[in-house]
Amino acid sequence: MAGKFADSVVWVTGGGSGIGRALALEFAREGADVAVSGRRKDRLDEVVEAVEALGRRGLAVPCDVTDEAATGAAVATIVDGLGKLDVAVANAGFGVSGRFEKLTADDWRRQLDVNVVGTAITIKAALPQLREHKGRAVMIASVAGMVALPTSTAYSASKFAVRAMGLALSAELHGTGTTCTTIHPGFVESDIARVDN
């Protein structure tokens, strides 16, 4: 199948629903084989079926992105199952909402652990493959990483951090043939406010 991503292998975290699911299917339409990760195996399996219906190979790789060993194991599973990794999309995330004075230390830790640390260790795990194949790291931030949102202080802070991380990594990778892109979606109907919140 011809397409912008013909013969590429793409990994999308948070791939079972919302933006991640949409990205996985669009990459498949553009010729990529797609691995999807998340915590809900049934959702991942549904996405794999949809990828395969588009004529591409799909692979469900359950993974907790806050676990560094798990992200490393996920990359190994993808390379074993699909042969390589060209694009890693760190999309997994969720949003804590509420007025600033109501947020607990645990709210802050969970928000930063998933959205910031999870993004960092996902891309770190993928980088050896991305370097080998002159691939691309993609970090999904948010419009909330450009304009802080009231009652979403923790979420906004996490997405500003992802924005900074993406800019710094892009500079580190300059001239290597491997790139980093940060995307800042606007408001999208998804499970982000309903999952683990």
Is residue 92 one of the residues assigned to a domain?
yes
Is residue 4 one of the residues assigned to a domain?
no
80 in active site = no
Q: Which domain holds residue 53?
A: 9-183
Q: What pLDDT score was predicted for residue 197?
A: 41
Q: Which region among 42-51, 101-110, 159-168, 186-195 has the lowest average model confidence (pLDDT)?
A: 186-195
Is residue 1 one of the residues assigned to a domain?
no
* Model confidence at 195: pLDDT above 70: no
Is residue 16 one of the residues assigned to a domain?
yes
- When pLDDT is cut at 50, 70 and 90, the band that residue 189 belongs to is low
pTM value?
0.93
Q: Which of 130, 155, 165, 180 is catalytic?
A: 155
Is residue 173 one of the residues assigned to a domain?
yes
CATH number, domain with residue 132: 3.40.50.720
Angle at which helices 41-53 and 18-29 pack, to 10 degrees? 20
**Which value, to the nearest 10 degrees, does the dihedral of the CA atoms of residues 13, 16, 20, 25 take?**
120
Is residue 189 one of the residues assigned to a domain?
no
Q: What is the DSSP string of 113-146?
A: IIIIIHHHHHHHHHHHHHHHTT-EEEEE--GGGT
CB 167 within 8 A of CB 142: no
Is residue 190 one of the residues assigned to a domain?
no
Q: What is the pLDDT of residues 86-116, one digit of tens each?
A: 999 999 999 999 999 999 999 999 999 999 9
Is residue 197 one of the residues assigned to a domain?
no
Nearest alpha carbon to residue 27 among 93, 94, 86: 86
Looking at the structure of the chain, the number of domains it has is 1
Do strands 9-13 and 87-90 pair parallel, antiparallel, or not at all (unpaired)?
A: parallel
| Strand order across the 87-90 sheet | 58-60, 33-37, 9-13, 87-90, 136-140, 179-183
Distance CA 123, CA 115 (A): 12
Q: What pLDDT score was predicted for residue 196?
A: 46
